[in-house]
Amino acid sequence: MDKFISIREYFLDQNKDMYKKRTRTNFIIQLLSILSTTIIIFILFWDAFRGVILIGSVVAYINSITNVKDSFKKIFALAHELHQDSLHAKDILEVLKLPVQNEDKSKKILKHFHTIRFENVSFKYQNTSKYALYNFNFSFKKGKNYIIAGKNGSGKSTLTKLILGFYLNYDGRILVDEQDLKEFEIKSYRSCLSAVFQDFTMHQLSLNETVGLGRLEKMDDFEKIKIALELANVDFVDNLPDKYNQQLGTWFESSHQLSGGEWQKLSIARAFFRDNASLVVLDEPSSALDPLSEQAVINSFRKLSKNKIGLFITHRLKNIKFNGDIIFLENGKIIEYGTHEDLLAQGEEYAKMYHAESVPPK
Ligand X SMILES: Nc1ncnc2c1ncn2[C@@H]1O[C@H](COP(=O)(O)OP(=O)(O)OP(=O)(O)O)[C@@H](O)[C@H]1O
Q: Which residues of this protein are in contact with ligand X, per CB under 6 A?
A: 125, 128, 132, 150, 152-158, 315
Question: Which residue of 33, 115, 135, 157 would you call a contact of Mg ion, by CB under 5 A?
Answer: 157
Residue 285 binding partner per list Mg ion, ligand X, none, with a CB distance cut-off of 5 to 8 Å that depends on partner kind: none
Partner touching 308 among ligand X, Mg ion, none, CB below 5 to 8 Å by kind: none
CA distance 216 to 236: 24
DSSP string, 195-259: EE-SS----SSBHHHHHHGGGGGGTT-HHHHHHHHHHTT---GGGSTTGGGPBBSSSSTT-BPPP
* Residues 165 and 189: beta-carbon distance below 8 Å: yes
**Please, what is the minimum distance in Å from the beta carbon of residue 133 to ligand X?**
8
- Looking at the Cβ atoms of 153 and 172, the one nearer to ligand X is 153
Closest to 317 measured CA to CA, from 306, 330, 328, 304 = 328
Question: Which one of the spans 16-24, 156-164, 241-249, 354-362 is the region binding Mg ion (CB under 5 A)?
Answer: 156-164
Q: How far is CA 136 from CA 119, 261, 335, in A?
A: 7, 34, 11
Residue 37: its H or E element:
helix 2-50
Decide if 274 contacts 305 (C-beta within 8 A).
no
Per CB under 5 A, 26 contacts Mg ion: no
- Among Mg ion, ligand X, none, what does residue 132 contact (CB within 5–8 Å per kind)? ligand X
Binding at 125: pick from Mg ion, ligand X, none (beta carbon under 5-8 Å per type): ligand X
- Site mask for Mg ion (CB under 5 A), range 108-147, x = bound: ----------------------------------------
Yes or no: say if 158 and 132 are a contact pair by the CB < 8 Å rule: yes
* CB burial readout 270-290, b (16+ within 10 A) else e: bbbbbbebbbbbbbbbeeebe
Distance, CA of 5 to chain centre: 26
- The nearest distance, CB 162 to ligand X, in angstroms, is 10
Residue 157 CB, nearest approach to ligand X (Å): 3
313: left (phi over 0), alpha (psi -120 to 50) or beta: beta
**Residue range at the interface with Mg ion (CB under 5 A); choices 139-147, 154-162, 217-225, 321-329:** 154-162
> 324, 226, 241: which is closest to 281 by C-alpha?
324
> By Cβ distance, which residue is nearest to Mg ion?
157
Q: State the nearest-atom distance from the C-beta of 5 to ligand X, in Å.
A: 25
Answer yes or no whether residue 198 interacts with Mg ion by CB under 5 A.
no
- Residue 156 or 308: the one with the smaller Cβ distance to Mg ion is 156
For 4, half-sphere exposure in the C-beta direction (CA atoms, 13 angstrom radius) is: 1
Distance in Å, CB of 319 to ligand X, minimum = 13
CA distance 133 to 64: 72
Q: 107 contacts which partner out of Mg ion, ligand X, none, CB within 5 to 8 A by kind?
A: none
Q: In angstroms, what is the minimal distance from the CB of 326 to ligand X?
A: 14
Which residues on adjacent β-strands are paired with residue 133? 123
* Residue 154: contacted member of Mg ion, ligand X, none (CB under 5 to 8 Å, by partner type): ligand X
Chain centroid to CA 302: how far? 25
Other beta carbons within 10 angstroms of residue 93's beta carbon come to 10
Quick one: what does residue 261 bind among ligand X, Mg ion, none, with the CB cut-off 5 to 8 Å set by partner type? Answer: none
Residue 155's binding partner among Mg ion, ligand X, none (Cβ under 5 to 8 angstroms by kind) is ligand X
Q: Between 156 and 340, whose beta carbon lies closer to Mg ion? A: 156
Q: How far is the CB of 347 from Mg ion (least distance, A)?
A: 26
Query: Interface residues with Mg ion (CB under 5 A)?
Result: 156-157
